[in-house]
Each structure stands twice: as structure tokens, then as C-alpha cells.
Chain A
Amino acid sequence: MDYRLQAFDNAFDNLLNNPGPKAPIKKLGYVYDPEQSAYSYSRLQTLYSCPRKFQLKELAQASSYDATIHTSFGSAFGAGVQELWRSDSLPRATLALIAAWDYPAFEDLWGKDKHKSIFHCIQSLGIYHATVHQELSLDYRLAYLQGKPGIEFFAYMQIGSHDNYQVHIDLILETKTTGALVVLEIKTSGMVQQAANWENSLQTKGYFALLTVVSSKLGLPIAPKIIYITLQTGKLALPDEYFGFNVFHFAKPAYIASDFTLSLLQDLTMLDIYKADGHFPKRGHSCVSYNRPCEFFGICDDIPLTKAGNVYESLTLDDVDFYLTIDDLSQCNLTPEGATL
């Protein structure tokens, strides 16, 4: 069947069978406080790509969030993997995957991406369970921190009185031998995945910094590494390429926690300069990404800067799994020689 007809078929099926309102689609939740600026790895990624886009998207929140086949595939696969670590039940993990699928159809409505349907996602989860999961499970199991499973671990770091940095961690595991904590991050992409994508990212450094403080406060050991499981879609039929899976173990020295803190503070200092000058520069090289123009391209000078709304799901401090301040990082005595906090 022509892909357009198939897409219409899917859309009609979905409309026919889902007459009621679905759960609201919102991005990953943040603690929202109008008196504070909340930052995260993904928000700062926007800042790095284009300060002007950051001003519109994150400060004014002048964009809405729609699930795409890409975000849906990633969050659904991640939910499945998380449930596997909790229950080690593939049927239950498959249900978790389906529960997290928030794209309005099971396949790309535009017929473009043929490797990110919900069925490819389910198949990928089955392959993950039979391969990568079996291997990792020999050494690791899900950690329970203060009685809560280390799934979608949500940490909140207060920075001074006006800023905070919020972190969602996919999984916190522990080694079976010593109980040392390890972060596990899940990534899916249509692009080739390699260590250079993630090894030095702010996310990796931030995870390590956070884990350092968690272990210090809870009196638990840590394995000084972050594990990334990456899935490159479109490789399901290629066992020679491990079906698209890669597992990266990034060992980190202790001073990386301080490196993260310094980087974060420098970013916030730069933001203060933008705010004080009332000028968030445009980065022309970011007007196109993945062959798509920026959502604000051509209109970014015309959008009012009054806050349009809160596109993120609003959480409260009660939803936070772990609260820390930036001073907690410096008190971990991890400062490298020559660096100051």
C-alpha cells in the first residue's frame, strides 16, 4: 500500500479508536518557580546552539511541545528498558513501552522514517533484552536509594538564590559485588553513535557530579563511570552490527565533578551578561538542524518576550528524589589542582 494511504489508515484508526482526550502531552517535568531560573542539560544545549532560541524557547517558552515519532520512540524504548531493570519481565516492559508511546500513530504519519514505528521499538526492546541486558545484568542490578528504585531519578540542585539545575537520570544501578552506584543512560538515534557523542558532554559530567554527592550523602560507594546504551535505528536486521546497539563505559576521574560545576557557573555567568545587555545573540549556523529550519526561523525578532506559558509539566520539590546545593559539590573535596569553585 502506498505510504500515504497507510498513513491515512493509521490516522483514521487512531481517531476512530481514541475518541476521548488522551493524557496531556508535556515535556519531561521540571520544578517550576517563577522566582527562579531552572536549567537542565537539554535547556543548556539550546543555549549552546543559539542564545536567541534559548531566550524564546526556554525563557519565554514561546513554543509548544508535540510528540514526534523520534521523541516517542526514544521515550518508549527508555521506559521499556527501565521496566526491564525493575522487573526483568519482557512482557511487562513491553506494556511500559506502549504506555510511554505518545505519538498519535504507531508509524510515521509522513511515511518518512520507516525504522521508528512502535513495532520496531518493541522488536528493539526484545533484542536488547536478549543481548545487552543479559550481559549487563551479570554485573549490575537496579539500585534502590532511600527505598526508591533508581528509575527516572530526579535531582534538584540549588545554585545561589535565583538559579537551579535539574537532572533526570534514566537509571541508577549498583554493582552486584560491591553495591557501587553507576548511572545508566539510554539514547536512541537514526545517526551513527560513537563515544565522542557523549563522553565529554555536560550531561555525562553532571551525572558523575550528582552521583558523587549522592554517594557521599547516603554513604554509598560509587563505580566511577557512566554507562551509555545507544541504539541506532535501522539496524534491526544486522546482527553483524549488533542490531544497532552500542554500550559505552565512560570512566571518570573525581575532578570531573568540579569541572562540571565550573562549566555550569560559567554558562550562568554568560547568561547573566545576555540578560543584563538585553541581547541574546542569534547563531546563524543553528538556523538549520537535521535539514529542518529552526521553529523560530524568520520570526525570531518578532516574537514578544512575555512568557507565553509553561510547556513543561510542573513538578514541585516534593517530587524531587534528591535535593542538593552547589556547595555540596565543593564540599566533596574533589577540586582538581589549580581549579577553584
Chain B
Amino acid sequence: MENQTNPQNLDPNAEALATILPMLASLEAELNKEAPDIKLWMYQLNNNLRMFPELVLLLKDEEIKPYYQAIQSQTMVAITKPPKALKTPKVAKPKGAFGAKMAGIKFGNSAGEAASDNGDLFDGL
């Protein structure tokens, strides 16, 4: 008798479906917005599915379709985040006079005259 007055008692899965089906409608509305917040919606989906994991089996293919499309779009956004700015790789520089020579640095004298590049870097210093 009680079952006849409370439809949920007829089907133990009714509560799960009653929870998630309105989400479908809200998702459709969300997707029509200019910048849908799918991630926020996914948190709600995660919460509902954890409470009612049987929904994975209960939902029909056509009901799952909008969920899946939204999840895929959010996944692509999350996976393809803009890469960080490239850093110039650091190259270890040889130190000392030899390093300076290798780097093509010419030492000038006190008068600002460039040292001759004859192999003796310290000429004129």
C-alpha cells in the first residue's frame, strides 16, 4: 500500500535518477551560456555519481551524450593549457681568461683601446 503512494519505493533507483536528471536540464542551460562553467558542473556530477554509482548503468545513451560532450570540452581545455613562457637555456660559461677568449671578449686598456686579438689578452693592461 505504501509503495503505491510513494513512487520511489517502487524503484530503488528512482532517487538516483531524480537527483541527476534535473542536472541534465541545468547542463543544457549552462552550455548555452557564453562561457559555461563546466568544471563547476563536473564537481556536482562527481558528487552525484559517488553517491549513486548505479547511475552509470541506469542512464540511457542519449542522456549521457550531453554530459560526455561537456566533459570532453572541459578536458581539452584543461589538458591544453597554454605553455609556460620558454626560458633561455643556461649555458655554462667557461671562466677566467681562457673563458673570456672563448667568448670573444676583448679586454681594453685603460684608455678604452681594444686589446689586440693576437693571443695575448693581457696586452696593454
Number of B residues with CB within 8 Å of any CB on chain A:
26
Confirm or deny: A58 has a beta carbon within 8 angstroms of a beta carbon on chain B.
Answer: no
Confirm or deny: B21 has a beta carbon within 8 angstroms of a beta carbon on chain A.
Answer: no
> Do B40 and A123 have beta carbons less than 8 Å apart?
no
Point out the residues of chain A lying under 8 angstroms from B51, CB to CB. Answer: 22-23
CA distance A90 to B68 in the complex (A): 9
CA distance A17 to B38 in the complex (A): 12
Confirm or deny: B121 has a beta carbon within 8 angstroms of a beta carbon on chain A.
Answer: no
Query: Contacts A89-B61, A92-B56, A119-B79; is A98 near B68 (CB within 8 Å)?
Result: no
> Do A14 and B43 have beta carbons less than 8 Å apart?
yes
Query: Contacts A13-B39, A17-B40, A23-B50; is A99 near B74 (CB within 8 Å)?
Result: no
Q: What is the interface residue range for chain A against chain B?
A: 20 to 34
CA distance A123 to B39 in the complex (A): 15
Point out the residues of chain B lying under 8 angstroms from A94, CB to CB. Answer: 68, 71
The A contact surface, by secondary structure, is helix
> Do B68 and A91 have beta carbons less than 8 Å apart?
yes
> Do B49 and A91 have beta carbons less than 8 Å apart?
no
Best-surrounded residue of A94, A96, A99, A123 (most CB of chain B within 10 A): A99
Query: Contacts A17-B47, A18-B43, A91-B65; is A122 near B71 (CB within 8 Å)?
Result: yes
- Beta-carbon contacts under 8 Å, A102-131 to B: 102, 106, 117-120, 122-123
Q: Which residue of A lies closest to B37 (CB)?
A: A13
CA distance A83 to B53 in the complex (A): 12
Query: Contacts A22-B47, A22-B51; is A119 near B67 (CB within 8 Å)?
Result: no
Confirm or deny: B45 has a beta carbon within 8 angstroms of a beta carbon on chain A.
Answer: yes
Query: Contacts A98-B45, A117-B78; is A22 near B67 (CB within 8 Å)?
Result: no
